[in-house]
Structure 1
Amino acid sequence: MAILHCANHYDAALVTNIWQNVINAKVKKLGNADAEKKLATLASKMKTLERTYAQSEQFFPLKFLVKTLETDGFRSDGTDLQLIYFNCFKLTGWVVSIMLTAGVSFQRLFATSLVVYGAKDDVWQAEGKPNHLLKVLAHMLNRLVDSSSGGMAALVPTADHRTLIGQCVEAVGIYLTDLFCTVHATSAGLIAEFRTLQGKLELVCRIKI
């Protein structure tokens, strides 16, 4: 990656392949370590690489990283590596935690997650978890409105509050529409959760205005 970056040589397939190998090697090397250690180690690795490559989306392909980690985090195909992912990264929001710890801004991560969700990739349906990304997005929004952990003030620069809240309110409306059309055991719970979030976000929006 360093050679490509220094030479300013961009090959999308090669870059994503390198990132996939970096993630797989790091997870496999940790072997039987507990989930907390794996999360901390992956976050540390991402932070180091993010400092070097984050200024260029070409060499820090956030969309690819989010989709890859979210997919591998809940899928188990029986291989040793997939079982490591599946057994240790079951918590919703683990990718969010890694990226925020690595220094990716909440706004950028939320925008990227919206793009990944909006792509409606068949992988989520094929794995029997059509609402997986909506659970992740709900987790992000809960972090945003959770005053006990600092909420928006701790995650987003003040100057960006109004714009982000407007985007979130609009996005929640889309999520609710999609959920009403999705027959799945998790849909009803997510509808209730997003309705609660909608009320909290609209209240914050009125305060900001």
Structure 2
Amino acid sequence: MKANRSYTLAVVSLFASLTAVGAFIKIPLPFVPFSLQILFVFLAGSLLGSRRGVQSQLVYVFSGLAGLPVFTQGGGIGYVLQPTFGYLIGFTLAAFVVGRMTERSKNPKAHSFIAANLVGVAIIYIAGVSYLYMALNTWMGIETSWSHVVMVGFVYGIGGDLIISVAAGLMAIRLRRIIAARRLFRPDVQMQDRIG
């Protein structure tokens, strides 16, 4: 039981850290910089399952809100007022949904991971663009239209994120095979249970 808790803590912390690292591999764009965070969000859901995947993203978000500079523009509780905070909410939701969709299958194929990631992209952008619109038009006092918000919050980044969705799906299937082949889990515990 203690070993299982240690394992959970380790993998959740690992993916929280990877998401933080992904924040600093970025292309600066107006309002919403393009980063590799989404890759690690999808891998967290695919490899850890819904429960541990969402835990990893909650650790990441709460670490940033506690003041660690793990977000693309720093950290601290005031980050909830940043126009991009909705994407962080979307990361948490997407990790859960990707995990839930892939753990339903005992032997998911690459297309299952890719489909789950595409749903995850939709969730991230719905949360992110909605929050961006609200932030700009309320507490930031920058009056802007939905079309402009969709352009800067969706159109500029969606191409790269669709490519990442496919890449993350292909990586997930390979990483799952490596995990199974190296017997990184106790043989008396089903892989699906340990991953999900």
TM-score bucket of the superposed structures, by smaller chain: 0.3 to 0.5
Higher relative contact order (CA 8 A, sep 6+): 2
Please report the TM-score for the alignment, with normalisation by the length of structure 1: 0.31
Please report the TM-score for the alignment, with normalisation by the length of structure 2: 0.33
